[in-house]
Amino acid sequence: MSIYVGNLSYEVTQDDLNSVFAEHGTVKRVQLPTDRETGRPRGFAFVEMGTEAEETAAIDALDGAEWMGRDLKVNKAKPKEDRGGSFGGGDRRGGGGGGYNRSRY
């Protein structure tokens, strides 16, 4: 299980997060998603701790705490929800595209 960390400063780095969460236990992994177009952090992260007890301690200590000028939102991460495939808007009729179609020429 991992921890969701929201309302982060756009200046935050993975090292910053690692050092803050390390105060509450062993940090196994930090994911700091970035915007595809700008490359800057998106304002949230996911942190995996060594044990459930360490996760709980980090959540209790950091949720609502002010850090880098922002009030953090820290809680257990929810499982990623299924968004229904890659057909934008959930259209499941399939379809395809591209390729050579002899009947059109």
Separation of alpha carbons 75 and 60, rounded Å: 9
pTM: 0.74
Statement: residue 99 has pLDDT above 70: no
Cβ atoms of 94 and 84 closer than 8 Å: no
Separation of alpha carbons 87 and 90, rounded Å: 6
Separation of alpha carbons 14 and 47, rounded Å: 10
Residue 88: CB atoms within 10 A of its CB come to 8
Separation of alpha carbons 37 and 40, rounded Å: 8
Arithmetic mean of pLDDT, 76-105: 61
Q: What confidence tier does 62 reach under pLDDT thresholds 50, 70, 90?
A: very high
